Amino acid sequence: MMPARRIVLALAGAFTCGCSEPPPPSSPPTVRRLTFESSSTDEVRQAQRIEMPAELGDWTVSSGKARIAEDEERADGTVGFQVALIGEGSKELLIPLEFDARPFHSATLTVTTPSTERMWLHLVRADGSVRTSPIASMEGSPAPQLVRFYMPRRRSGSEPFEELVIVAEGVSRYVILHSVEFSREPLTNWTFANDEGGGRMRVNNGARTAQLVGPSSTLRSRIEIGPGDELAFSLGIPEVFRNPKIGFATLRLVADGQGTARKEWSYPLEKLIAAPGWRSERVTLDDFPPGQLDIEFSLEAPQGVDLACLIAEGRIVARHANPPTVLLITSDTHRGDHLGAARSAVQVTTPVLDGLAARGLLFEDCFTSTNITNPSHVALMTAVHPRDTGVLTNNVPVAEAAPTLAEAFCGAGYRTFAVVSTRHLGDPTSGLGQGFDRMSWPGPSECDATQSIEKLASWLPDARGEPLFLWLHLFDAHIPYEPPSEFAERYYPPDRDPFDPSLAEPTMPPARVLHESLLGLKDPAYPAAMYRAEVSALDDALGDLLAAARLSDAIIGFTADHGESLGQHGIFFSHGDLYPDSIHVPLILAYPRAAGGTRMASPASQTDLGRTLLDLAGEEQADFPGRNLLSAAETGTAARVPRFALAGNATSASLTHNGWHLILHLRPHFEAPRLKGAEWHRVELYHLTEDPGSTVDLAELHHELARDLRARLVRWLISARDLGWAHEASADPKLLAELARLGYTDQHTPENGSELIDADCVCERCAAFR
Ligand SMILES: [Zn+2]
Ligand SMILES: [Zn+2]
């Protein structure tokens, strides 16, 4: 089904990144974004309908069974037929196509399904090649529903389709088909199918808020300019339009000063075919006197061909010598004690991060709100706890409705760029592209720090003279640990083979809990050494970035989304629970005028970092939740407030307060139970001050305290708010396979707080604490 937000987008015609309020004129330099009106003379919609037949004839049922019956009477009094596809699990209907389906963009099915069902389509050519639609998830309903499939576009010169295959799979015993309609729509409607939400369009693995310019649709904007202003934008060609004909197309930009001057620029699109991806452009407006300026983008292209390009980041830049820069770095899976400046017992060298701490503040006691990637980043970017965002797995994007840190910076007049290093944190799966002018994520294999930093650094010149908020996410410390050899050798002798079968090690973790990269491992010291090497490697890679002139006096926050268990608590090289291994993270804050080298001992909640960055940037008025970490430490409030965590998939919850750490297990765990049995509703209590590694469970010994803390934690759990921010989970099989490869096999999202825990549970373990 089409999400409602997409329909809204189409009606609005033009869109912004959600923060188009003009800034007050006297404020510090801000980016002035252009709002475009789109005018389109695209051809009207064409459609080709397939009615359900009175008998199957040459239609084939290749899976399940089919039954034909008379359909409901329609508004015009006619009665057609309906085909019921019957069968548990997979149901498949093959329909020979008697028309050329190539010019059509989408197929809409009228379907009745009594329960949840997933449907998709294949278009099959004579040579057997197949084009497959995205999967649509449907809820059960007694009434017919419309489900629209946007087909990936054809390459030019391809053969016609011979057959349409309709596939339904789910818990329904039957699915009723009433009709199928193929549609050709105005080119501008292409955005329907490719919008990642909020107008974000994808070119390669990069999303930007963009609008389409086609042969018959233009973009116009009117803006006030001043002396020295420049016009900047970026353009890209989505893959579906990268056909040979695009070589004849030219993007034209016209600036019209309404009688004072007129100027035209041409951008042949051929160049963008040779080097696909987004390209930044900037033109000076020195020929125009200050005042009103009309801007128009149009495309000159052969008629009747599906050609278009995207315009993003349209803005007027008043160049400033020293615009503010804010950089947020999240190092995935980075333990709080794996930092030289932390002065822990761990032998790991991080000279670059130590240098950052030396010119800023190091928070020694920072905890995250959860233990897995996307939920933690969503909490950091919204300053709302995962209990309330409802995002508790790595395949549930946060909805557009959630106000994000990027949107706050965008609203404050900043350019906003994000580079993440694993695909599941990319915009389609995380929803965190909102508010970012640009976001880039890798393909199926992760990027290392060097690659991601190179990408981010290459973008810096595009924001010269403009305030800039950057988010860099690094994935190096996450399993598989495969550091560059120069770092590996620092921590493990290069001539030693940790997989040597002749090595006998009595304390090896069971193979079933090890990542595939560690199967056959004989030396348990090896993965922990490689983990340290990954940390040193990412630290080294950060050196060049932090040395960039643009970042020399930037406001910089460095933290992690969660930590890692290196064999502690029966968890081997993963982060499957809420022990401090997994939720104690590094936090460094560097900014001009910081009292360099300060060590902050007071407790810090990582979700307060966003508010702190905004305040440090002078954006105290920006509407964004959270507590300022500096003032919370100063006033002592940080120590008074308990810190809560809720594990990914809602497997457990924890409360940390006054040096104590209590864990309440909520569900069977995906990993730990195979080793030590983290039973439902079991309580663990640790005294962090004396036992930072949480090795001695004191729940029995300090029963009263455990009872109080547990009651407090349960009260917190059942007061969960449903903000409606958890978007529909992705069921993309490729993504799920990637997540499984990284160790995320469970994808559980509870409906509400009472589903997290039954406060009146009568089980033995709960009764012991009543
Ligand atoms: Zn992570
Ligand atoms: Zn219980």
DSSP line for 132-169: EPPPEEE---SS-EEEEEEPPPPPTTPPPEEEEEEEEE
- 181 with 193, same domain: the answer is no
- Residue-level pLDDT at 188: 64
Question: Domain total for the chain?
Answer: 3
- Residue-level pLDDT at 189: 63
Structural domain boundaries, residue 243:
30-42+189-317
User: What is the whole-number distance in angstroms between the Cα of residue 714 and the centre of ligand 2?
Assistant: 11
| Structural domain includes residue 602 | yes
Q: How confident is the model at residue 356 (pLDDT cuts 50, 70, 90)?
A: very high
**Residue in 144, 86, 136, 147 with CA at minimum distance from that of residue 113:** 144
The closest ligand to the CA of 425 turns out to be: 1
Considering 141, 169, 185, which residue would you say is the last residue of a domain? 185
Whether residue 272 has pLDDT greater than 80: no
Q: Decide: 477 and 331 in contact? Cβ < 8 Å.
A: yes
The average pLDDT across 363-379 equals 97
- Spatial distance between the Cα atoms of 161 and 123, rounded to a whole number of angstroms: 6
| Structural domain includes residue 512 | no
- 159 with 236, same domain: the answer is no
Q: Decide: 417 and 468 in contact? Cβ < 8 Å.
A: yes
The closest ligand to the CA of 760 turns out to be: 2
**Long-range Cβ contacts of 21-24 (<8 Å, 24+ apart):** 21/411, 23/412, 23/413
Strand segments (E) across 318-359: 325-331
Q: What would the two tokens of residue 24 be?
A: 């007050």
Tell me which DSSP letter residue 768 carries: T
- Residue-level pLDDT at 72: 82
| Structural domain includes residue 15 | no
- 207 with 181, same domain: the answer is no
- Spatial distance between the Cα atoms of 497 and 136, rounded to a whole number of angstroms: 48
The more confidently predicted of residues 359 and 74 is 359
Whether residue 124 has pLDDT greater than 70: yes
- Residue-level pLDDT at 770: 82
User: What is the whole-number distance in angstroms between the Cα of residue 197 and the centre of ligand 1?
Assistant: 23
User: What is the whole-number distance in angstroms between the Cα of residue 616 and the centre of ligand 1?
Assistant: 26
Bridge-based pairing state of the strands 652-657 and 660-665: antiparallel
Whether residue 17 has pLDDT greater than 50: no
Considering 274, 293, 317, which residue would you say is the last residue of a domain? 317
User: What is the whole-number distance in angstroms between the Cα of residue 607 and the centre of ligand 1?
Assistant: 15
- 472 with 567, same domain: the answer is yes
User: What is the whole-number distance in angstroms between the Cα of residue 691 and the centre of ligand 1?
Assistant: 25
- How many residues are present in the chain? 770
- 74 with 161, same domain: the answer is yes
Q: How confident is the model at residue 15 (pLDDT cuts 50, 70, 90)?
A: very low
The more confidently predicted of residues 191 and 497 is 497
Q: How confident is the model at residue 248 (pLDDT cuts 50, 70, 90)?
A: confident
- Residue-level pLDDT at 305: 67
- Spatial distance between the Cα atoms of 476 and 530, rounded to a whole number of angstroms: 11
- 358 with 467, same domain: the answer is yes
The average pLDDT across 610-639 equals 94
User: What is the whole-number distance in angstroms between the Cα of residue 552 and the centre of ligand 1?
Assistant: 28
- 375 with 241, same domain: the answer is no
Chain segment 193-203, per-residue pLDDT in tens:
566 666 788 88
- Spatial distance between the Cα atoms of 499 and 720, rounded to a whole number of angstroms: 47
The closest ligand to the CA of 334 turns out to be: 1
Whether residue 509 has pLDDT greater than 80: no
CATH number of the domain that residue 36 is part of = 2.60.120.200
Q: Decide: 418 and 432 in contact? Cβ < 8 Å.
A: yes
CB 153: neighbour CB atoms within 10 A?
A: 18
User: What is the whole-number distance in angstroms between the Cα of residue 387 and the centre of ligand 1?
Assistant: 17
- 373 with 434, same domain: the answer is yes
The average pLDDT across 457-467 equals 93
The average pLDDT across 505-519 equals 77
The average pLDDT across 180-203 equals 72
Residue 463 Rama label (left phi>0; alpha psi -120 to 50; beta): alpha
| Structural domain includes residue 696 | yes
- Spatial distance between the Cα atoms of 199 and 211, rounded to a whole number of angstroms: 8
- Residue-level pLDDT at 230: 92
- Residue-level pLDDT at 9: 27
Q: What is the DSSP string of 224-284?
A: EE-TT-EEEEEEE--GGG-SGGGGG-EEEEEEE-TTS-EEEEEEETHHHHHS-S-EEEEEE
- In this structure, of 173-182, 202-211, 366-375, the range with the lowest mean pLDDT score is 202-211
The closest ligand to the CA of 759 turns out to be: 2
Mean pLDDT taken over the chain: 87
CATH number of the domain that residue 165 is part of = 2.60.120.430
| Structural domain includes residue 170 | yes
| Structural domain includes residue 12 | no
> SS3 breakdown of the chain: % helix, strand, coil, rounded to 5?
25, 30, 45
Peptide bond before 480: cis, by omega within 30 degrees of 0? yes
User: What is the whole-number distance in angstroms between the Cα of residue 698 and the centre of ligand 1?
Assistant: 29
- In this structure, of 443-452, 506-515, 644-653, 693-702, the range with the lowest mean pLDDT score is 506-515
CB 401: neighbour CB atoms within 10 A?
A: 11
The closest ligand to the CA of 768 turns out to be: 2
Whether residue 246 has pLDDT greater than 80: no
- 618 with 732, same domain: the answer is yes
- 652 with 559, same domain: the answer is yes
| Structural domain includes residue 265 | yes
- 329 with 449, same domain: the answer is yes
- 176 with 280, same domain: the answer is no
Instruction: Taking each helix axis as running N to C, give the angle between helix 351-358 and helix 525-546, from 0 to 180 degrees, rounded to the nearest 10.
Output: 50
Whether residue 674 has pLDDT greater than 70: no
User: What is the whole-number distance in angstroms between the Cα of residue 452 and the centre of ligand 1?
Assistant: 16
Adjacent-strand bridge partners of 150: 106
CATH number of the domain that residue 351 is part of = 3.40.720.10
- In this structure, of 226-235, 245-254, 267-276, 678-687, the range with the lowest mean pLDDT score is 267-276
- Spatial distance between the Cα atoms of 362 and 355, rounded to a whole number of angstroms: 11
| Structural domain includes residue 513 | no
- Spatial distance between the Cα atoms of 696 and 686, rounded to a whole number of angstroms: 6
Considering 151, 185, 219, which residue would you say is the last residue of a domain? 185
User: What is the whole-number distance in angstroms between the Cα of residue 473 and the centre of ligand 1?
Assistant: 10
User: What is the whole-number distance in angstroms between the Cα of residue 310 and the centre of ligand 1?
Assistant: 32
User: What is the whole-number distance in angstroms between the Cα of residue 392 and the centre of ligand 1?
Assistant: 12
Task: Pick from 47-56, 332-341, 426-435 the range whose average pLDDT is largest.
Answer: 332-341
- Spatial distance between the Cα atoms of 745 and 763, rounded to a whole number of angstroms: 27
